[in-house]
Amino acid sequence: MGTNQQCWWVYLIRMANGHLYCGVTTDVNRRFEEHSTHPTKSAKALRGKGPLELVFTYEASSKQQAMQLEWQLKQYPKKKKEALVAGEISLL
């Protein structure tokens, strides 16, 4: 990647109820920490759903690709997301 280009990531977080949340960020560790411990910075869908577990990350080539992959993942049925988390299929 070029020196000016920021890395973007797509990630999946498993909630205590087993549901998977998908998001994009430039810093997976920071964002997961926000979701886990900062209710005001956490996604509303994750509030009160802990403990949370980061189960999948994928580095995208650009913000645009990350957002496209996020949309794609959100269309997947749960079984396909679980296969992705298990490493049985790849994102691309």
Q: How many domains does the chain have?
A: 1
Question: What is d(CA 55, CA 47) in angstroms, rounded to the nearest whole number?
Answer: 18
Domain CATH for 31: 3.40.1440.10
What end-to-end distance do the CA atoms of the chain give, in Å? Answer: 19
Tokens coding 18: 């087993």
pLDDT tops 50 at residue 1: no
Q: Domain of 29? A: 8-85
Please report whether residue 92 resides in a domain: no
Q: For residue range 27-68, list pLDDT tens digits in order.
A: 999 999 999 998 788 888 898 888 999 999 999 999 999 999
Judge whether 91 lies within some domain: no
| β-strand partners of 23 | 11
30 lies in some domain: yes
Alpha-carbon gap, residue 34 to 32, rounded angstroms: 5
